[in-house]
Chain A
Amino acid sequence: MKFTLSWLRAHLDTDAALARITDTLTAIGLELESVEDRGAALAPFRIAHVLDATPHPNADRLRVCTVETGGETVTVVCGAPNARRGMKAVFAPPGSVIPATGTVLKVGEIRGVQSAGMLVSARELALGEDHTGIIELPEEAPLGVPYAAWLGLDDPVIDIAVTPNRGDALAVRGVARDLAAAGIGTLRPWNPEPVEGGFPSPVGWRIDWPEACPWVLGRTVRNLRNGPSPQWLQERLAAIGLRPINALVDITNFLTIDLGRPLHVFDADKVTGGALAMRRGAGETFRALNGRDCTVTDEDCVIADAAGVQSLAGVMGGAATGSDEATRSVFVECALFDPVRVALTGRRHGIISDARQRFERGIDPALLAPGLQAATRMILECCGGEPSAVAAAGHEPRWQRSASLRFARLRELGGADVPPDEAVGALQRLGFTVEARDAERVTVAVPSWRNDVEAILRNYTADPGLRSDLNAETGLLDQAPALSPAHRREVAEACAQTEPEYDLIEEVLRLRGLDTVPPVSLPQAEPVPPPALTAAQSRTALVRRTLAAEGLAECVTFSFLPSATAALFGPAPSALRLVNPIAADLDQLRPTPVATLALAAARNAARGQPDLGLFEIGPAFAPEQPQGQHLVAAGLRTGATPRNWAAPARPIDAMDAKADLWGALTAAGAPLEGLTVTADAPGFYHSGRSGVVRQGRVALGTFGELHPRLVAALDLPAPAVVFELLLDAVPEPKRRKRAAADLSPLQPVRRDFAFLVGAEVAAETLLRAARGAERGLIAGVTLFDVFAGGGLPDGQKSIGIEVVFQPRDRTLTDAEIDAAAAKVVAAVAKATGGVLRSSS
């Protein structure tokens, strides 16, 4: 909200410096957004009188001026053609900074004549382009007065951010009240004198919907003359960016900003039927003052005459009954609308207005009558005319309530030792009045304008229709459905008891300055704190570091992507499509992080970076509720391994992805020995070069080459391989005591075997058979060779394995080793049909 310093001073009697005022605003929660002080740079320049101007003895174009600056008389050498005796001009004293050039003015000697200052042009003051001569001021310009002040440029424009709870601060007077309470000056009294009406208002009110509009006042002013508003009013509005329109409109705009009291004026001659009704809309369309047509619903409160809808209550007036220069008679509306209703209507129609902004935050219910009087007085002053009696409908709602503060709570909750007198004084300065006080507590009446303090349902919304989604029993609460009714009631009651006190503590601390609360480090519950991460979270951290250590660069990609791209990676259900995406290409929650990593790889390839490895640990989304989100560690490699002198580059392949996945599974603590790999990866994988890693039937991860069609569609460098690890699916390792390490003192015996097996035999089958051939003795099996073709029969391949036999208690005899080797051969033969080619 914007206002000028002089506007503020109309309500606040203070000589505090601007910086102190703006610092205080920020400290008490009315955060300064900006201050525009056009006068600051012009402060040294004062209005001066040129007493004499004579030709310079040594220069034809210069003149020597004797200048009265309003305190002293100085000699100034001036080159302006218009410098002459008797004129009023603007004097720059030595030491001042010329705004246009930034130079500091010094006393100097020009061609032998001393010059103690300068008479300046508009361009030199950065006030315009005119540099044909010095500024000429009219005769009546006051000598010695700062030029900026005389111009009206010394009035800084202050812009503050008003938080949603502080409707009262959307008024210059409200801001002034807060500042006065914080110790900046005193609030000037404001009490508009009532204006008696001379005749009954020819336009009256009717409230058909009291829940939406409990109370409304109005009055007619006839025989007025609408025209431009007075200069001071135009300047005030223009300074804060409101375009002056005509006196009547300017007056309502002024009072909206000045008092936070939105008003509307109807051209009384355009109102049909002599009555305005507050009622539900009925699908009518009317043209609002913003020039747009608006079709109202039965959830909107409208103001209608016999001809139809004339205003969207609390949001925006209508064009048909608006006032213009021809208006001779007006009907002034001063109403109280339901805040929630106004908020919903404003949102429904997409209209943001100064009126809506104030009504939806709640306006001062006690300000209707004084606000209408102030408006009437201003209309009479600016436009003349004769006021009618006040027309009213409905009645003032009961807004009065009180709140209590236990002084000890300022320390127990606020952490501040505030003397009770100071706390009570702060509240009183804010307009709270003491109803009762003892050593322990004070009870105060809440002022009408503070609907954020001890907020109650009836000042929150008067409309029971809007309360239906609120729990009537618990007022403003929205409690967890799982709580039992008794539990709900108990804590709701506790809330009702504590909340007003929180409100008052906030007020006291806010005015005192939260910087006065001494910071206290959190007490430690235990000398050494427990682990911050759960086992699953620690595991995720380890997977992250492992993948990075394996050479992958961690990415954070968006959770959403184009639905067409998502569809390449699986179902893209509408349940996971944003209703209001920020862009068409960010509309679908991703089925897997692989999808957004693929897009990232394509972007990198387009930048000339085709060989890379990326990973991300983040959510994959599925439509099932409520467990529709899975934490996935996904990685992607594209292109080739790095070229170097020691080994040639080779294309990345699916087994690189399997190695990444294996590293991640190891870090995640998956039981590697028990895992199997099946060849049924989802359709976005290359069907022949991919696998699913399973523990039993549960899929833990997937790896493989991306489907060539997808690689082409996304412009990815080929080959592109990916993996996914479903972190949530990896079982948490059982917490059991770790067995002692088995460190045999005996040398292991290694034997190599080469088997001839069918080409379709899975290596894993063979390895599993070999491992299981002699459990107590075989410590490890390593596959070191796979070979097909050459001299081997068609449809066959050779698999070479190394088996490590680990004797436990004594060295094995050759016969024992041969027997164990025979068991390996037999087991492999049984499992795969393979025959031994050689062993060594």
Chain B
Amino acid sequence: MTDASIHLKAETEVALAAASDLRAWDAVRVSVLGKAGRLTALLKELGRLPPEVRRERGVGLNRLRDELTAAIEARRQALDAAALDARLAAERIDPTLPPRPRPAGLIHPISRTADEIIAIFGAMGFSVAEGPDVETDWHNFGALNIPGHHPARADHDTFYLPAIGDAPPPVLRTHTSPVQIRTMLEQAPPIRVIAMGRTYRADHDATHSPMFHQCEGLVIDRAITLGHLKGCVTDFLRAFFGLSGLPVRFRASYFPFTEPSMEVDIGWNRRTGELGGGGDWLEILGSGMVHPRVLANCGIDPRQWQGFAFGMGVERITMLKGNIADLRPFFDSDIRWLRHHGANPLAPATLHERA
């Protein structure tokens, strides 16, 4: 290696180390490798040398060129990395700042329960039927074997609207059972429906609201027995509360539109409110085999068709499952209560995912 080469290498290395930014680095690069650069000048000199010297010098210069090129490139990368580090440092944010607010709404507990009920009964082959809140006396009472003087009417605390003409006054439906009647009139058996919605009774205290929600089920087929009623209701209650061993008790009762009729209790602990054990019973649902008079009122032949019906309070099972103590806030729309008890709109109510 010639003296010139040795100098060039040493001086270039010093110059590169001194180049603290890309501009200085570029000046070094041009001064060495540029058209007028020092390495370029040395290479140009090669042509003037005798061939035997040229060959040996050429190999040396080429190696020098490779070394300088690599050193220059390495320096550039180092400068780039430093520049990026400096930029990142300059761009630092406070990651503990609160996130930008995103809209966060929620689903009312009653709708959430409705979704869960539909998911479970949907899996059992039920579809969802609907009817109006303002009903005729016949749909709400007469067709359901509750004539005008029936003592059961006194239990219903019915809201009335002004009568139109000679017809009995319209009522706010006192239960979802009129949807059974509408379904049987519109649809030939076999029938497997649930009906959910607003119901109304003139009662207002800590445990009663003048408006509340019921869910009704109706199954009509040829060979449906009281055993199926028990199985269906038990399957539902255990799925809904997520307790496969939930004790379920059936006891004889009376409703005008079913026979035999049964009240359904679930096992719980009255003191702690915990479901499943504790030795106490909590009434949760009314049920029974559809009364032949109700079938006949809807034009269905009770010799050929039979089935069962049940009804439950949506708020009640919501309160039990969600550990909600008081009924009244359901309808008060207090945003604090809604945020506390409301459900994520994207939470699935299907059976294969746990909410």
List the interface of chain A (C-beta within 8 A of B).
26-29, 31, 163-166, 339-340, 343-344, 347, 360-361, 411-416, 466, 469-470, 474, 476-480, 482-483, 487-488, 490-492, 494-495, 497-499, 502-503, 505-506, 509-510, 514-515, 517-526, 529-534, 537, 541, 544-560, 574-583, 586, 589, 597, 600, 603-604, 607, 609, 612-615, 618-619, 621, 625-626, 628-629, 642, 644-647
Contacts and interface: CB of A to CB of B under 8 A. Distances in A.
A473 to B, nearest CB: 12
Contacts of B210: 558, 560, 582, 586
Given A414-B225, A492-B296, A510 B252 contact: yes
Given A165-B254, A548-B106, A554-B111, 20 more contacts: A31-B253, A164-B151, A361-B151, A414-B227, A478-B142, A494-B292, A495-B293, A519-B227, A519-B231, A520-B231, A522-B125, A529-B123, A533-B122, A545-B346, A546-B345, A553-B105, A558-B331, A559-B172, A582-B204, A628-B134
B104 to A, nearest CB: 6
Nearest to A642: B101
Contacts of A506: 252, 259-261
B335 A522 contact: no
A550 B169 CA distance: 42
Contact of B342 (A29, A479, A553, A645): A553
A466 B148 CA distance: 10
A597 B196 CA distance: 22
B297 interface: yes
A482 B143 CA distance: 13
Contact of A579 (B124, B160, B194, B250): B160
17 contacts: A26-B251, A360-B149, A414-B225, A477-B293, A495-B296, A523-B228, A525-B192, A549-B345, A554-B106, A554-B342, A558-B331, A578-B172, A582-B204, A586-B210, A604-B334, A621-B133, A644-B100
A236 to B, nearest CB: 26
Interface size class, chain B? 35 or more
Given A537-B128, A586-B210, A604-B334, A579 B162 contact: yes
A483 B297 CA distance: 9
A582 B103 CA distance: 38
Contacts of A612: 335
B30 to A, nearest CB: 39
Nearest to A161: B253
A524 B164 contact: no
A576 B161 contact: yes
A368 B136 CA distance: 40
B333 A557 contact: yes
Nearest to B200: A559
A581 B181 CA distance: 26
Contact of B249 (A166, A515, A557, A615): A515
B128 A491 contact: no
Contacts of A503: 259
Contacts of B8: none
A532 B249 contact: no
Contacts of A628: 132, 134
A517 B230 contact: yes
B346 A549 contact: yes
B241 interface: no
B124 A529 contact: yes
Contacts of B61: none
A518 B228 CA distance: 9
A95 B52 CA distance: 126
A167 B98 CA distance: 69
Nearest to A356: B151
Interface stretch (B82-90, B271-279, B298-306): B298-306
Contacts of A621: 133-134
A478 B144 CA distance: 9
A494 B296 contact: yes
A205 B75 CA distance: 128
Given A478-B142, A478-B143, A621-B134, A549 B335 contact: no
Nearest to B227: A415
Given A497-B303, A559-B200, A579 B169 contact: yes
Given A31-B253, A541-B115, A554-B108, A519 B331 contact: no
Contact of A580 (B110, B126, B160, B304): B160
Given A29-B252, A645-B97, A533 B225 contact: no
Given A533-B127, A533-B128, A517 B226 contact: yes
A344 B149 contact: yes
Interface in B124-173: 124-128, 130, 132-134, 138, 142-143, 145, 147-152, 154, 159-162, 164, 169, 172
A193 B203 CA distance: 49
B345 A412 contact: no
A581 B161 CA distance: 10
B354 interface: no
A416 B231 contact: no
A552 B105 contact: yes
A387 to B, nearest CB: 35
Nearest to A339: B149
B230 A480 contact: no
Contacts of B192: 522, 525
Contacts of A520: 225, 227-228, 230-231
B133 A559 contact: yes
B292 A482 contact: no
Given A28-B252, A533-B128, A644 B105 contact: no
B336 interface: yes
Contact of B226 (A347, A415, A483, A546): A415
B293 A476 contact: yes
B14 interface: no
A3 B343 CA distance: 48
Given A163-B253, A521-B232, A545-B107, A589 B134 contact: yes
